[in-house]
Homo-oligomer: A and B are copies of this chain.
Amino acid sequence: METARFGGTPKGGICRLALSDEDKSVRTWFAQTCEALGCTVTYDSMGNQFARRAGTCETLQPIMIGSHLDTQPTGGKFDGILGVLGGVAVLRALHRADVSTRHPIEVVNWTNEEGARFTPPMLASGVFGGAFTQEFARSRPDKNGITLGEALEQTGFVGEEECGKHPASAYFELHIEQGPVLEAEEKTIGVVQGVQAMRWYDVTVTGQDAHAGTTPMTMRSDALWSAARMIDGVHQVAMNHAPDGLSTVGIIECLPASSNVIPGSVHFTVDLRHPSDGTLEIMEKEFYQTLEAIAASCGVEFSISPTWTSDAVHFDPLCVSFVEKSAQNLGYSARKIVSGAGHDAVYVARVVPTAMIFVPCWKGISHNEAESAEPHDVTAGANVLLHAVLQADSE
């Protein structure tokens, strides 16, 4: 995609962490590109970037299109980016065809969607939707201790407008599915009904540093061996709720990290997901019980701190119907689908009528440099986006 020169990796992916130099470059590119299409670009207090194309009836609230331009450390060229570039494509189509809309049309680039540099994900759309306070969001540190607030000030992409005060009448987000369903069923468009529930945790396991060569196996308090058994236990929790339950340990760190020292301390993250809030609640209980049992049998201490909860989301029926009808009118095969990934739409949906459009991606692979999508699917997605926006405009 067009933005891959900002943070492109040798393996064909993108490494563009939120508010990094690469992110700064792509933000400048986005602003210049939209300005060339006659838009005005503004920022809010969380660095969210709004490119506005005027409507004929400026008292009407804008119809928003958006997603994010930040990526995972080994991210792909589509996750988030498609939604913003899809928006730019809509602006370009309207500009070239010299079409006026009643509502202003705005394309938004939300800050720090991935949660890779600053956790949790969707931090700035979360402030917009009222899920997080701006104080909390700005205080989030990256792994070098730089807070999101500090990074925002450094990059200079901070506007006067208080995040969340920006009005909108509807929000549409185009995204690759990031999963295997559409490709397997050979459907071009996913009419997204909502987003599954997800919870994040930090786990700390505390044993005792000891010598690898002199400490009998039965006298050890080995934080890493215990953590290993816990990670297998966390995997089992998802398997207990197959096929919809998911669990992932994405980060692990151990101390003191020396080959001949039994680790006394381990930290790891846990990501649990399920489409049903109720089942996720049960999974959480099983997760706690599993860790308790393993800690007791391995002779270590542990603590779990929940770091993020996002309940299941159900999108606005009218906006969803615009997506469905557009796909139908344009003759694309489509199916209803629930998103496994979180998106900015999750939090925007709290305050603005919202819907999402999915297109298939290669093998369902995402958060991977090999992430890919077919040009005709991407084009179809942008077409549905344009038509859904036009339907919303004519309401």
Interface residues of A (CB under 8 A from B): 72-74, 114-116, 119, 121, 177-180, 196, 198, 200, 208-219, 222, 224-225, 227-232, 235, 238-239, 242-243, 245-252, 254-264, 269, 271, 273, 339-342, 364-369
Contacts and interface: CB of A to CB of B under 8 A. Distances in A.
Contact of A246 (B217, B239, B367): B217
Given A211-B368, A212-B273, A215-B246, 16 more contacts: A73-B256, A178-B213, A179-B216, A198-B213, A212-B246, A212-B248, A213-B271, A214-B340, A214-B366, A215-B340, A215-B364, A227-B228, A228-B231, A228-B232, A228-B249, A250-B258
19 contacts: A114-B260, A116-B258, A178-B213, A178-B214, A196-B213, A209-B368, A210-B365, A210-B366, A210-B368, A215-B246, A216-B246, A224-B249, A225-B235, A228-B231, A248-B261, A251-B254, A252-B254, A259-B269, A264-B368
Copies of this chain present in the complex amount to: 2
A172 B263 CA distance: 31
A367 B212 contact: yes
A184 to B, nearest CB: 10
B258 A251 contact: yes
Contacts of A243: 216-218
Nearest to A74: B256
Nearest to A13: B209
A304 to B, nearest CB: 14
Contacts of A342: 213
Contacts of A368: 208-211, 264
Contact of A224 (B196, B231, B258, B364): B231
A257 B73 contact: yes
A258 B262 CA distance: 25
Contacts of A215: 179-180, 246, 340, 364
Nearest to A265: B74
A79 B153 CA distance: 48
A340 to B, nearest CB: 4
Contacts of A251: 254, 257-259
A298 to B, nearest CB: 10
A114 B178 CA distance: 46
A267 to B, nearest CB: 11
B214 A341 contact: yes
Contacts of A119: 259
B250 A179 contact: no
A258 B73 contact: yes
B250 A212 contact: yes
Contacts of A364: 214-215, 219
A46 to B, nearest CB: 20
Contact of A366 (B211, B216, B219, B369): B211
Given A210-B366, A213-B178, A250 B261 contact: yes
Given A224-B249, A249-B224, A365-B208, A213 B341 contact: yes
